Amino acid sequence: MSGIADKLTEIKNKLEEGVTLVAVSKTKPTEDVLEAYNTGHRIFGENKVQELVYKYETLPKDIEWHMIGHLQANKVKYIASFISLIHSVDSLKLLRTINKEAIKNNRIINCLLQVKIADEKSKFGLNFEDLVQLIESPEFSELQNVRIVGLMGMATFTDSEEQVREEFKSLKSIFSKLKENQTRNNSYFSEISMGMSGDYQIALEEGSTMIRVGSNIFGERVYQ
């Protein structure tokens, strides 16, 4: 036994009601996803479109797939028919494309706006001013087939628990400000996706509603 089922169940049992676990299965084989699936878990996250599409086609259709990685506009069409949540929306341009593909598929696609909270230059995401500008733009109000259900952020990869905590606090505070001021979609604006294997406990203390855990469930990833 590989222990995937045990680890998943252990993490899930500790979560408060209303907190969602996204099991991040990127790079892992479909057998591993099935082992987690067989515990009753249905929410999985991937960060590459090609792998996501392959797993969607191969695995049971009641899985809710989340796209957690950087998404190029030209690849939205491959996932638009089935994706249940896109965590990584970081531009109006991308949102426009998601809206267009959602219309083609006659559905509404749930999205999170990715916020840059880390001090690392490499991390994608919007800052507070960008977020306000996007949400208040006239064009955004016309995109009726996307629904912004919250925010996503990644903390800096560091040993400093204090820094990680501050970054999560800042995401929570940005979330609260936007929630107060937003009129459109307000009742849907409820998710704060933050926390990974190394920092999800801190994230939960700081108000996360959705944690994205990979290696703690499936084991370390090997990249080739």
- Contact residues toward ligand PLP (CB under 6 A) are 24, 26, 47, 68-69, 154, 196-198, 212-216
Q: Which is nearer to ligand PLP, 68 or 178 (CB)?
A: 68
Q: Find the shortest distance in angstroms from Cβ 113 to ligand PLP.
A: 14
- In the DSSP assignment, the letter for residue 88 is E
Q: Which is nearer to ligand PLP, 61 or 121 (CB)?
A: 121
Closest residue by beta carbon to ligand PLP: 214
Q: Find the shortest distance in angstroms from Cβ 21 to ligand PLP.
A: 11
Q: Find the shortest distance in angstroms from Cβ 1 to ligand PLP.
A: 21
Q: Which is nearer to ligand PLP, 79 or 143 (CB)?
A: 79
Q: Find the shortest distance in angstroms from Cβ 6 to ligand PLP.
A: 17
User: Is 87:193 a contact under the CB 8 Å cutoff?
Assistant: yes
Task: Please report, to the nearest 10 degrees, the dihedral formed by the alpha carbons of residues 52, 54, 60, 63 taken in order.
Answer: 10
Q: Which is nearer to ligand PLP, 23 or 135 (CB)?
A: 23
Convert 126-186 into a string of H (helix), E (strand) and C (coil): ECHHHHHHHHHCHHHHHCCCEEEEEEEECCCCCCCHHHHHHHHHHHHHHHHHHHHHCCCCH
Euclidean distance between CA atoms 108 and 83, whole angstroms: 10
User: Is 192:150 a contact under the CB 8 Å cutoff?
Assistant: yes
Q: Find the shortest distance in angstroms from Cβ 8 to ligand PLP.
A: 12
Q: Which is nearer to ligand PLP, 178 or 196 (CB)?
A: 196
